[in-house]
Structure 1
Amino acid sequence: MRWSIPVFFVLAFTVTQAHAAGIDPAQFGDQGWFTTRIASALTTLQANITSALGSAYDVRSSSTYTSWAYGLMLGAWAFKFVEVTARTAVFGDPYSDLVGVVVTGVIAQILFATYGGWTWDIINAGTYLGQLVQAKALGSDALMYPYIYIVKAWAMFQLSPVGIMSLTIDYFLDAAVLVVFSFLLFAAGLFACMWPTLVGGIAVLLGPLTLMFVFHKSLSWIFDGWLRLMFWTAIFAFVSRVSLVIICLVFGSAFGYGSMSMPGGNPVLLTPDNPLAFIFLVAMAIVSLALLFFSGVVTSMITGGSNIDAAGMVKGAAQQAGKALVSLI
């Protein structure tokens, strides 16, 4: 089956919008155009999110949204400062706690002032490391390369054409099997390539609102959960990229294609009277889908363990700095 058959389902929903945007729907059947547009969209997404934040680095007053988030953070900081000051004055709490609140606020200020840098660095780190593995194994570090490889390898297998009078139930069932599993496999591959960037974009947009919760222990789980989402995205980007590389290597080895070049040559024509060929293809597709699913499981196992308690670490470091400063005074 041609790789473009599953794209028919996408075209059914996008043809009207594509025509309005000046895009020829037939272009969706062009593999190079399709993957280039997806890669370009993912690159543009990061630029658009940066534009929404108002700055590629310091977001403290770069847009209305981040200004409000920054103001909420300052309010939470001031509230905590007043609370600790009162406890120090009334109940005699150590001055190191007060200094710790000040240091925590300074750290939050630094995180805001450098937000556009370190957030995208965390998210992009997984993709970058995965692409290093991919370049070594497949000879290319292009974002959509594994997806293209899988599509081309699967597209080499086609049903042998028959006359209309020779069509049988077995032929239609075999065609349905190829279409269904090609759709699932292509969708999963596309998902693995796109998902880290999409989730990362959501995480970056949510981040400014979570920084105000670092000051209050009862609400710090919100900041911790957001930071866990950031690391989940980075780790999933790496694990899923490595899984795609492994699938490409297995496909290349099983189907006789080189790992350092795209599959090509004459298509393999399948006939309904050869069920073992279809069983083999379905087994390969199921194993590949299971491996991509397992990528998410592995990532959740790594990031879903004990509480990261990043807010506690920030406040603990600030309190230690406060104790050191008070001892020097």
Structure 2
Amino acid sequence: MAITPEQNRNPETFNATYGAFINQMEGKLAPLLSTSSEYGRYIYVFLTGLSVIYAVFHLFRYVSGNANIGVLVEKGIYLLFVWGLMTSYSTVTYWVFGGFTELAGVMQKSILRDDKLMGPAVHLFKVAESLQWDSGNILVDGVQSVALYFSTLILGLLLAIVGALVAAWPVFGYFVAKIIGLSLIPTLLIPQLSSLFDGWMRLFFGFAIFTLVGRAVLVGIVLIAEILFGAAYGSAVPVSMLGAIDTIQDVLIADMFFLLGIVFLSATGFTVGKITGGGAVNVGVGSAMQTGARLLAGKVI
């Protein structure tokens, strides 16, 4: 069923449409990442071939006396870890990203009393639409006033558009990362290439953290709009909300708010990069799995 422009102006409809899109995309990814698709079968066959080579190589090392039974058991457990990751990949990525999305929603609901993904962006559109001079008719205030009005209106709409992109970006990124990640799991069996999967992990968690940081920035901008303009989130934005704008100072305040909002939203990726790239501990997935396999092998033997 097509969504009319009038319905799209309703945050409830917009969020429902966006939510349906996410569910449909997830439904299309599931068969793509399984053996029912050519892509999935190719990766599973590739991993199977690498697993055979990996097992034969370490078995030969054990038989030739170049490795003890402990090392052989460790490599066997590590191989099981890799296959466990392969078979649970779709489910694990879904729940990890969903967990961050849910956390962002809980944070938003605690402050704004709803957890709609596109709620803040839709609210900012409504704020921009409600800009109005004190006279109620910008055409009677001269060409200069008209230019100032439209500059502020454009900045407001641009802020709302950037806000919508910030909300949507990590979801699209998640789908792209999810498709790519499956093909990189076999590299965990090749020590020289295992760093590729580590890089993918940073990419995936970068998008997951983006959902949290981006939502926090959007919530902050909505709260500032409420303080400056009296545009309370969740209530109908009054047409005369910005009726007090009748001087250049008022225009500058509105423009400064919109510009700062655009800058902060645009810097969300930079903030996420600082978070995902920081920290003194930088352990690869392959190394962590090898350590876990070694500990389990020590318990077995």
TM-score with structure 2 setting the length:
0.87
Residue in structure 2 matched with residue 317 of structure 1 by the alignment: 292
One of 151, 156, 176 as aligned partner of 1:177? 151
CA pair 162-73 structure 1, distance change in 2 beyond 3 A: same
- Are the counterparts in 2 of residues 153 and 263 from structure 1 also a CA contact under 8 Å? no
One of 234, 249, 264 as aligned partner of 2:237? 264
Equivalent residue runs for 1:3-22 within 5 Å: none
CA pair 162-207 structure 1, distance change in 2 beyond 3 A: closer
How far, CA to CA, are the matches of 1:298 and 1:163 in structure 2? 42
How far, CA to CA, are the matches of 1:118 and 1:23 in structure 2? 33
One of 6, 11, 21 as aligned partner of 1:41? 21
Of all paired residues, the percent bearing the same amino acid is 21
Shift of 1:30: 3.2
How far, CA to CA, are the matches of 1:257 and 1:182 in structure 2? 13
Residue in structure 1 matched with residue 9 of structure 2 by the alignment: 30
Find out whether 1:161 has 2:137 as its counterpart.
Answer: yes
One of 53, 57, 76 as aligned partner of 1:79? 53
How far, CA to CA, are the matches of 1:177 and 1:270 in structure 2? 17
Find out whether 1:190 has 2:169 as its counterpart.
Answer: no
RMSD: 2.5
Aligned to 2:193, what secondary structure does the other structure show?
Answer: helix
CA pair 308-187 structure 1, distance change in 2 beyond 3 A: farther
Find out whether 1:50 has 2:30 as its counterpart.
Answer: yes
How far, CA to CA, are the matches of 1:151 and 1:23 in structure 2? 18
Find out whether 1:133 has 2:112 as its counterpart.
Answer: no
- Are the counterparts in 1 of residues 125 and 157 from structure 2 also a CA contact under 8 Å? no
One of 262, 265, 271 as aligned partner of 1:289? 262
TM-score with structure 1 setting the length:
0.80
- Are the counterparts in 1 of residues 14 and 118 from structure 2 also a CA contact under 8 Å? no
Shift of 1:256: 1.9
How many aligned positions are there?
Answer: 295
* Dislocated runs of 4+, deviation >6 Å: none
Moved more, 249-258 or 36-45: 36-45
Matched AA of 1:127 = T
How far, CA to CA, are the matches of 2:8 and 2:156 in structure 1? 15
Residue in structure 1 matched with residue 79 of structure 2 by the alignment: 105
How far, CA to CA, are the matches of 1:308 and 1:282 in structure 2? 45
How far, CA to CA, are the matches of 1:206 and 1:181 in structure 2? 36
Matched AA of 1:135 = K
CA pair 310-162 structure 1, distance change in 2 beyond 3 A: closer
